[in-house]
Amino acid sequence: MHDVVPSTLLEQGLTAAAEDLVDRLEMPSTFTADVDEEALSPATIHTAYFVLAEALSNAVKHSRASSVSVDLRQTAGRMVVEIHDDGVGGARLDGGTGLRGLRDRVEALTGTIAVESRRGWGTSVKVELPCTS
């Protein structure tokens, strides 16, 4: 199965596509990126984008967040994607299909995913992916 990816991701890369997603949010948001995209495999780029899109969708649809922050960076041969919102919390990897699907995608690339989402404290999603697959 092939995912549909936005033209911005294909034509301008992960940083531009991620920034576009964040810019479209109807809430205050911050975005930082320090990524050498030439060091990333296409699978890592697509998975990082999908993780970001799903986490932001959850922040908008479910968390009742009033702000969100996104950080993309590379460290020690790993691509790190972090999304934090200040919503109601309570998200779980074993809950709905969205986060469970993220876990499956991330683990397929031998990556890791951590979700911290205490009730009343918002949700943080941290994903680490290998730069090459």
Tens-digit pLDDT profile for residues 62-80: 889 999 999 999 999 999 9
CA distance 49 to 118: 25
- The residue ranges of every structural domain in the chain are 7-130
Tens-digit pLDDT profile for residues 93-132: 776 667 788 899 999 999 999 999 989 899 999 999 999 8
Answer for the pair 127, 95: CB distance below 8 angstroms, yes or no.
no
Give strand pairing partners of 55: none
| pTM over cut 0.75 | yes
Phi/psi of residue 74, each to 5°? Answer: -120, 140
At the fourth CATH level, which superfamily is domain 7-130? Histidine kinase-like ATPase, C-terminal domain (3.30.565.10)
Answer for the pair 109, 90: CB distance below 8 angstroms, yes or no.
no
Tens-digit pLDDT profile for residues 4-35: 778 899 999 999 999 999 999 999 999 999 99
